[in-house]
Homo-oligomer: A and B are copies of this chain.
Amino acid sequence: MSDKRIPVAILGATGNVGQRFIQLLEAHPWFRVAEVVASDRSAGKRFDEATDWRLGPDMPEHVRGLEVLDYDADIQSPIAFSGLPGEVAGEIEQRLAANGQAVLSNTSTHRMEPDVPLMIPEVNADHVAAIEAQRKNRGWKGYIVTNANCSAIHLTLALKPLYDAFGIDAVLVTTMQALSGAGYPGVPSLDSLDNVIPFISNEEEKLETESQKMLGGWSADGGFAPANFVLSAHCNRVAVRDGHMEAVSIRFKQPATPDEVIEVFESFRAKPQELGLPSAPPQPVVVRREKNRPQTNMDRDTHNGMASVVGRVRECPLLGTKFVVLGHNTIRGAAGASILNAELFKVEGLLPV
């Protein structure tokens, strides 16, 4: 029986995000992994010989026998999911987009460019309109659409319904981020055990700018107009495997009680839920009402790691409202985000297939 699913390529397939793509696509109803691309070190080998699989005991069967292609390979799949390292992503992603591929990228390289959408389907599905401008500007047959930094995605998912309901004036966020966010080998164990590192390179800048781009608007004339509020971030690395916890204080334009905030979080639904996209969580934002939840270990896998989990919604004496939000950084915060974008694009007829 032939597999009618759309073939996809995974760029950076041997890395942390690449492996997560492969895991999440193992039984995907619409997409199948047809090509795996990695650096010269791995190229030419069978995928299972080139890769130390780190997400559970065994590599999924469906990719074991694939030959690893090098960065210059002539990719056949109409969709390329990218978890490439920043230093090589620019050239490769652009080449594929020029050739006609839909490149859905986790890499930060193109995120802030003026004609590249930075998308979360629940937040700014209308930013897809920028694709047309991008193709025209660049003369490309395909396109690049990015998803945001892992901490920005969960912050933005939590902010979106509040932004729509109450307007936002100012946000202060302090993150406690997982080790997997730094990739592999990433953080040395001697720096992680019994330690907090109050610094992650470029993370605060990404969190501040990317969130505002996603919550802002797009117009054919004016391009992207970032949301117009102040956002300040403190980013910290803590000793957890997966799951970014973020402590958020927020000043709304129009005051709201904690109960109203909870109500807005819980009633939030958007396109992915309406369309029933395969990877969409039933609720994008889940509220925990226990006084000490969400907790990283217990709650990061909520709705298969595709939800943002909020808790401790209460008054902030300074900004009006405070809460915590937790989310899985390599699922909804990375690979799952790209896949959800691709699912939306399929339904909307934006895939080159």
Contacts and interface: CB of A to CB of B under 8 A. Distances in A.
A196 B176 CA distance: 8
A93 interface: no
A204 to B, nearest CB: 9
Given A57-B301, A190-B241, A193-B179, A199 B317 contact: no
Contacts of A188: 184-189
Interface of A: 54, 56-57, 170-172, 174, 176, 179-180, 184-199, 208, 230-232, 234, 236, 238-241, 243, 245, 247, 249, 288, 291-299, 301-302, 309, 311-312, 316-319, 322, 324, 326
B179 A190 contact: yes
Given A186-B188, A238-B176, A319-B172, A292 B245 contact: no
Contacts of A316: 172, 232
A326 B199 CA distance: 13
Contacts of A197: 292, 295
Nearest to A245: B196
B298 A247 contact: no
A199 B193 CA distance: 20
Nearest to A307: B57
A54 B322 CA distance: 26
Contact of A239 (B187, B193, B309): B193
5 contacts: A188-B189, A192-B192, A198-B324, A232-B318, A232-B322
Contacts of A296: 194-196
A309 B57 CA distance: 10
Q: What is the copy number of this chain in the assembly?
A: 4
A71 to B, nearest CB: 24
Given A318-B172, A318-B231, A191 B194 contact: no
A3 to B, nearest CB: 25
Given A239-B238, A239-B239, A318-B170, A184 B195 contact: no
B172 A179 contact: no
A330 to B, nearest CB: 11
Nearest to A292: B199
A302 B58 CA distance: 9
Given A185-B190, A193-B194, 20 more contacts: A171-B318, A172-B249, A174-B174, A180-B190, A186-B190, A187-B189, A189-B189, A191-B295, A194-B239, A195-B296, A196-B243, A197-B292, A198-B293, A198-B311, A199-B291, A199-B293, A232-B249, A234-B249, A234-B322, A236-B247
The winner among A174, A192, A198 for most chain B CB atoms within 10 A is A198
Given A57-B302, A198-B312, A324 B193 contact: no
